[in-house]
Amino acid sequence: MDALSMAMAKAGKLSLMGFDVDGVLTDGTLYFTSQGDEMKAFSSLDGHGLKMLQKAGVEVVIISGRRSRALDLRAQNLGITELHMGVEDKREKMSALVARRGIAMDAAGYMGDDVVDLPILRACGFSASVADGHPEVLSRVDYVAQRGGGHGAVREVCDLIIRARGQWDLLMAEYLA
């Protein structure tokens, strides 16, 4: 079985998918106004992918090491209720989320980009990264997106999961009617 087929097999089992923020949902650049407010740029393509993933029955969670008002607003906009910011141990947070739902870790996935994400990536049943992720991460995940963080990589992974679950045609029918 080739790497893509193995990734699809793992992705098809997911009922929960987690995402990092800086470098995954964004390009990793941190913008600050002269007043010290943080700004982030999010891809609308990624946002719609997250909505489609939710529609396919996969719960979307965000687990980030940083806190950001912009992220809070984006999560609200996307209907993501499981937003966890300022998390030091992402693997522990994911374990708690999985335990609360009574599912196994192989039914959970995570998308990260840097070495701080390795513990959670290695613990989940499916792992993914962005094309411009750290080499140590890229060599250890199930799937590496062709696109970079904040530029459609999340959408690519959402589409892959939806296809792996056999729901692509059903979801596309809404747009093709």
Alpha helices in 17-165 (DSSP H): 44-55, 69-78, 90-101, 118-123, 135-138, 153-164
Q: What's the mean pLDDT when you consider all of the chain?
A: 96
> H-helix or E-strand containing 127?
strand 126-129
Sheet-wide strand order for 16-19? 82-84, 59-63, 16-19, 108-111, 126-129, 143-144
Q: Is the pLDDT of residue 37 over 90?
A: no
Q: Is the pLDDT of residue 125 over 90?
A: yes
- For domain 3-176, give the fold: Rossmann fold (3.40.50)
Instruction: Give domain limits for the chain.
Output: 3-176
Model's pTM, two decimal places? Answer: 0.96
pLDDT tens, position by position, 55-110: 999 999 999 999 999 999 999 999 999 999 999 999 999 999 999 999 999 999 99
